């Protein structure tokens, strides 16, 4: 659906900040999260996990556990079907190991028992005989010939012969003559970078409850970013028809991409089918860290040439990502996003994925982009330092704009990068003086955004209220935003609209909540569904008035005769039409189903002031500002919340968060004490500046905003630290031991 450019729209409700409809339940503890669901006769299941990074499973003896009083069922990899589809098969193997344990924490068996204590005790009674194999957790090591082989035969055809069999994926993007571009440069900088795997760190651990009846119907309640995805995957793994499995999404305590796949849901279903009782699984935090998806870990080389006056003449990047023990295409995203902010004559990126003995990667806000853009923005910053150029001026000079052939191929339509850069430059933050020892870091960020399959129903109730039924869990205030768009379109107050998230039996398919798609895509479908309902209401008014349907128009929340020729009738409000709907043809509802296109790419610019303690290497963030194009901010509080939250997660990633592995290949910090996300007192208030450059692909101009804000912080902070300590930092996190070592070596 195109932007409504034919009218100069004055929004009445979109752009306001009413309270979110789920707020009261959440602050009073009434909201039902994944672990809050129970059923009569419910069993508790626990999962036994590999203590080895890489081991052949020689045998599993469950007999002693099965004989224990209170144990109702034990399952291992043998109890799970292996789908033909490679992607689904990987999920199945990740859910429960078969012949090999591929990483520390890989599930090898599960027990359902009448109490958590019995389930825990039964795990100890399962005897697994392992043959420990050599392991590899570092992406560069995994690509070397002779590296321990994680899985055989998984390379795509695009991988050139001669690389380690751990390399499963290769891609290349770009255009122009690189050699000619570098020849035009006055200065070329080439650097290598590494980033650690980080976890999404959602507060709510995965939890689910499964129930399977003897006639093969199943219900699953779970904490997820997409109930339809859960249905598709679990039905395939269970050999069920989609209609027989109903999945209901709970409220969600954070996901950030990490809940776009399944881990425990098939285990609960298989145990429920085996035992005939409802089965509940709740992960511990230790399990969340060891067995659910962190980001890719990466190793990246970047080479950029620049003229003395700040024109980038060529850019090249080689990206090596590891998505853990299974093939992973996230490196494509990095290779596409790396130079997206720049209008370049010559650019090339190459990416490879390598298997390692780490948990299977799951999406994390703008998957693959923060790492690539960190590396590129670091080199751009170094060139600005060397050539004594203003970092924002250089980015303005090279900024991609409407008509730019992007580094990954498509030509950009209306985009907000230049406006965002100029807003940052004009902001008081950029002009504020820095004290000795302080530094300012700058970075651009980019994300593609996504639309996808979406289905919305909008029911007009006879009392003049409206119910919107959508199919994506509310992860960032989407019910409020969707209600606002429905209210805006229908011309009724926000509090007359209630938006609910439906289960998989109650609505058509909706893609998972990812790609910052919900406000864009579900919003678009809601507006279309409202327009559908308005057309129907106009028809009802026409029927009452005895005039043609075409002679009725909708404005200001009511049906009006369209012009003097239509006849003289007082307008009929939505409530008036709804009240008599049973007499005019029955209930009134609007629908819309779409595979939405035109999500519109998104850019952001971050400014970060910081200081580094020269005696300890500790970085303190002093001031932080986020500038981002939201297209149209439907509910500005939640747009600002996304911008602030992304910045904070990025700050954690830049400074302290990392998966730490011991020599034995086991994760050493599977808890929030030693996996250090920022605490509130680590942070200044994050200032969020929203720009609104309408997205041509949405009737109100909306763009997704949820992912772009995690992209710039890595480089913004690393650039600030590099300037503060006088050394170009090339590895994340910028933990104090690493920074102090760099200071001492300088």
Partner 1 sequence: MRYEKPQTVADAARLLTAEKGITRVLGGGTDVLVQLKAGMVEPDLIVDIKALPGIRAIVAEAGGFRIGAAVSNAQLGEDAAVRAMWPGVVEAAGLIGSTQVQGRATMAGNLCNASPAGDAVPALVAAGAVARVAGPGAARDVPVEAIPAGPGKTTLKRGEFITSILLPARPAKSGDAYLRFIPRTEMDIAVASAAVSLTLNDHGVITAARVALGAVAPTVRLVDDAAAAIIGTKLHDDALAALAAACSAACAPIDDKRGTIEFRTEVAGVLAKRAARIAYTRAGGQA
Binding site for partner 1 (CB under 8 A): 286, 615-618, 655-656, 660, 668-669, 673-674, 676, 678-679, 681-682, 735-737, 740-741, 744
Q: How far is the CB of 335 from partner 1 (least distance, A)?
A: 32
Q: How far is the CB of 54 from partner 1 (least distance, A)?
A: 21
Q: How far apart are CA 390 and CA 83, in angstroms?
A: 55
Contact 746, 723 (CB under 8 A): no
Work out the angle at residue 462's Cα, subtended by the Cα atoms of residues 461 and 467, and round it to the nearest 5 degrees. 10
Q: How far is CA 728 from CA 321, 389, 724, 731, in A?
A: 22, 17, 10, 10
Q: How far apart are CA 254 and CA 263, in angstroms?
A: 16
Q: How far is the CB of 484 from partner 1 (least distance, A)?
A: 36
Q: Which residue's CB is nearer to partner 1, number 32 or number 668?
A: 668
Q: How far apart are CA 286 and CA 674, in angstroms?
A: 11
Q: How far apart are CA 93 and CA 82, in angstroms?
A: 8
Q: How far apart are CA 297 and CA 141, in angstroms?
A: 12
**In 403-432, which positions are buried (b, 16+ CB within 10 angstroms) versus exposed (e)?**
ebbbbbeeebebbbbbbbbbbbbebebbee
**Strand-strand pairing, 245-249 and 218-222:** parallel
Q: How far is the CB of 422 from partner 1 (least distance, A)?
A: 34
Q: Which residue's CB is nearer to partner 1, number 617 or number 697?
A: 617
Contact 446, 437 (CB under 8 A): no
Q: How far is the CB of 263 from partner 1 (least distance, A)?
A: 21
Q: Which residue's CB is nearer to partner 1, number 169 or number 666?
A: 666
Q: How far is the CB of 668 from partner 1 (least distance, A)?
A: 5
Q: How far is the CB of 678 from partner 1 (least distance, A)?
A: 7
How far the first Cα of the chain sits from its last, in Å, is 56
Q: Which residue's CB is nearer to partner 1, number 24 or number 117?
A: 117
Q: How far is CA 212 from CA 44, 218, 668, in A?
A: 15, 4, 37
Q: Which residue's CB is nearer to partner 1, number 493 or number 662?
A: 662
Work out the angle at residue 571's Cα, subtended by the Cα atoms of residues 569 and 572, and round it to the nearest 5 degrees. 115
Work out the angle at residue 421's Cα, subtended by the Cα atoms of residues 416 and 422, and round it to the nearest 5 degrees. 100
Q: How far is the CB of 720 from partner 1 (least distance, A)?
A: 17
Q: Which residue's CB is nearer to partner 1, number 635 or number 666?
A: 666
Q: How far is the CB of 288 from partner 1 (least distance, A)?
A: 14
Q: How far is the CB of 120 from partner 1 (least distance, A)?
A: 8
Q: How far is the CB of 121 from partner 1 (least distance, A)?
A: 11
Q: Which residue's CB is nearer to partner 1, number 243 or number 668?
A: 668
Q: How far is the CB of 679 from partner 1 (least distance, A)?
A: 5
Q: How far apart are CA 149 and CA 166, in angstroms?
A: 6
Backbone angles phi, psi at 12, to 5 degrees: -100, -35
Backbone angles phi, psi at 218, to 5 degrees: -135, 150
- The total of other beta-carbon atoms located within 10 Å of residue 573's CB is 18
Q: How far apart are CA 334 and CA 351, in angstroms?
A: 8
Q: Which residue's CB is nearer to partner 1, number 217 or number 618?
A: 618
Q: Which residue's CB is nearer to partner 1, number 116 or number 491?
A: 116
Burial, 744: exposed, middle or buried (Cβ in 10 Å; 0-12, 13-18, 19+)? exposed
Contact 303, 315 (CB under 8 A): yes
- The total of other beta-carbon atoms located within 10 Å of residue 350's CB is 17
Cα-to-chain-centroid distance, residue 661: 25
Q: Which residue's CB is nearer to partner 1, number 157 or number 615?
A: 615
E-assigned strand segments in 307-419: 312-322, 347-354
- The total of other beta-carbon atoms located within 10 Å of residue 562's CB is 18
Q: Which residue's CB is nearer to partner 1, number 658 or number 707?
A: 658
Q: How far is the CB of 670 from partner 1 (least distance, A)?
A: 11
Choose among 19, 430, 4, 80: nearest CA to 239. 80
Q: How far apart are CA 366 and CA 652, in angstroms?
A: 16
Sign of the dihedral defined by the CA atoms of residues 671, 676, 682, 685, in that order: negative
Q: Which residue's CB is nearer to partner 1, number 116 or number 508?
A: 116
3-state DSSP: the chain helix, strand, coil percent, rounded to 5?
30, 25, 45
Q: How far is the CB of 251 from partner 1 (least distance, A)?
A: 24
Q: How far is the CB of 724 from partner 1 (least distance, A)?
A: 16
The first and second tokens of residue 37, run together, are 């669901």
Sign of the dihedral defined by the CA atoms of residues 517, 518, 520, 525, in that order: positive
Q: How far is the CB of 205 from partner 1 (least distance, A)?
A: 14
Tokens 């704009």 label which residue?
A: 401
Q: How far is the CB of 290 from partner 1 (least distance, A)?
A: 13
Burial, 241: exposed, middle or buried (Cβ in 10 Å; 0-12, 13-18, 19+)? exposed
**Strand-strand pairing, 558-561 and 572-573:** antiparallel
Strand order in the sheet with 602-612: 438-447, 602-612, 619-629, 686-691
Q: Which residue's CB is nearer to partner 1, number 186 or number 731?
A: 731
Contact 585, 612 (CB under 8 A): no
């Amino acid at each position: 659906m195109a932007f409504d450019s034919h009218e100069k729209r004055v929004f009445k409700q979109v752009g306001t900040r009413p309270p979110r409809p789920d707020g009261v339940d959440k602050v009073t503890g009434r909201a039902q999260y994944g672990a809050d669901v129970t059923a009569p006769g419910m069993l508790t299941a626990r999962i036994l996990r590999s203590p080895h990074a890489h081991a052949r499973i020689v045998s599993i003896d469950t007999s002693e556990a099965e004989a224990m009083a209170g144990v109702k069922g034990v399952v291992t990899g043998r109890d799970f079907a292996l789908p033909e589809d490679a992607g689904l098969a990987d999920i199945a193997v990740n859910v429960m190991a078969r012949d090999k344990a591929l990483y520390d924490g890989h599930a090898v068996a599960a027990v359902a028992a009448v109490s958590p204590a019995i389930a825990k005790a039964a795990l100890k009674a399962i005897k697994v005989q392992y043959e420990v194999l050599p392991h590899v957790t570092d992406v560069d090591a995994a690509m070397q010939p002779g590296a321990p082989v994680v899985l055989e035969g998984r390379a795509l055809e695009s991988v050139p012969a001669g690389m380690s069999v751990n390399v499963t994926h290769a891609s290349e993007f770009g255009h122009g003559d690189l050699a000619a571009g570098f020849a035009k440069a006055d200065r070329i900088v080439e650097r290598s970078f590494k980033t650690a795997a980080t976890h999404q760190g959602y507060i709510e651990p995965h939890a689910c409850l499964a129930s399977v009846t003897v006639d093969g119907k199943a219900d699953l309640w779970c904490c997820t970013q997409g109930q339809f995805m859960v249905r598709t995957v679990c039905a395939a793994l269970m050999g069920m028809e989609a209609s027989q499995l109903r999945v209901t999404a709970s409220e969600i305590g954070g996901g950030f991409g990490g809940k776009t796949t399944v881990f425990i849901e098939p285990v609960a279903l298989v145990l429920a089918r085996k035992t005939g009782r409802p089965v509940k699984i709740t992960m511990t935090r230790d399990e969340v860290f060891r067995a659910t998806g962190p980001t890719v870990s990466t190793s990246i080389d970047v080479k950029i040439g620049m003229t003395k006056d700040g024109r980038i003449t060529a850019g090249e990047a080689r990206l090596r990502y590891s998505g853990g023990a299974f093939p992973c295409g996230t490196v494509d995203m990095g290779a596409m996003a790396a130079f997206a902010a720049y209008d370049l004559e010559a650019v090339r990126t190459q990416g490879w994925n390598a298997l390692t003995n780490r948990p299977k990667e799951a999406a994390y806000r703008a998957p693959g982009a923060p790492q690539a853009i960190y590396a590129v923005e670091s080199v751009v910053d170094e060139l600005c330092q060397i050539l004594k150029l203003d970092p924002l001026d250089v980015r303005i000079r090279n900024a991609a704009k409407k008509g730019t052939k992007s580094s990954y191929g498509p030509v950009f339509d209306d985009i907000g990068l230049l406006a965002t850069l100029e807003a940052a430059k004009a902001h008081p933050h950029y002009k504020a003086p820095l004290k000795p020892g302080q530094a300012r870091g700058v970075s651009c960020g980019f994300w593609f955004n996504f639309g996808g399959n979406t289905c919305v129903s909008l029911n007009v109730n006879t009392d003049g209220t409206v119910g919107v039924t959508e199919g994506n869990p509310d992860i960032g205030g989407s019910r409020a935003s969707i209600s606002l768009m429905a209210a805006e379109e229908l011309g009724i107050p926000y509090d007359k609209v209630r938006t609910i998230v439906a289960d998989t039996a109650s609505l058509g398919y909706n893609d998972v909540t990812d790609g910052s798609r919900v406000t864009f895509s579900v919003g678009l479908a809601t507006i279309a569904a409202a327009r559908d309902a308005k057309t129907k209401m106009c028809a009802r008014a026409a029927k009452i008035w005895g005039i043609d349907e075409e002679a009725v128009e909708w404005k200001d929340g009511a049906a009006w005769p369209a012009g003097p020729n239509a006849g003289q009738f007082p307008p009929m409000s939505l409530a008036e039409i709804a009240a008599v709907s049973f007499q005019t043809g029955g209930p009134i509802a609007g629908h819309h189903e779409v595979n939405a296109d035109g999500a519109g790419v998104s850019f952001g610019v971050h400014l970060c002031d910081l200081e580094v303690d020269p005696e300890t290497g500790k970085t303190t963030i002093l001031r932080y500002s986020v500038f981002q194009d939201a297209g149209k901010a439907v509910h500005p509080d939640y747009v600002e919340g996304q911008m602030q939250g992304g910045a904070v997660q990025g700050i954690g990633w830049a400074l302290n968060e990392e998966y730490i592995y011991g020599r034995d290949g086991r994760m050493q910090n599977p808890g929030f004490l030693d996996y250090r996300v920022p605490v509130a007192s680590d942070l200044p208030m994050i200032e969020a500046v929203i720009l609104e450059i309408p997205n041509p692909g949405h009737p109100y101009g909306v763009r997704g905003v949820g992912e772009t804000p995690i992209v710039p912080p890595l480089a913004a902070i690393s650039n600030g630290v590099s300037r503060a300590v006088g050394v170009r930092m090339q590895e994340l996190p910028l933990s104090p031991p690493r920074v102090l070592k760099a200071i001492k070596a300088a």
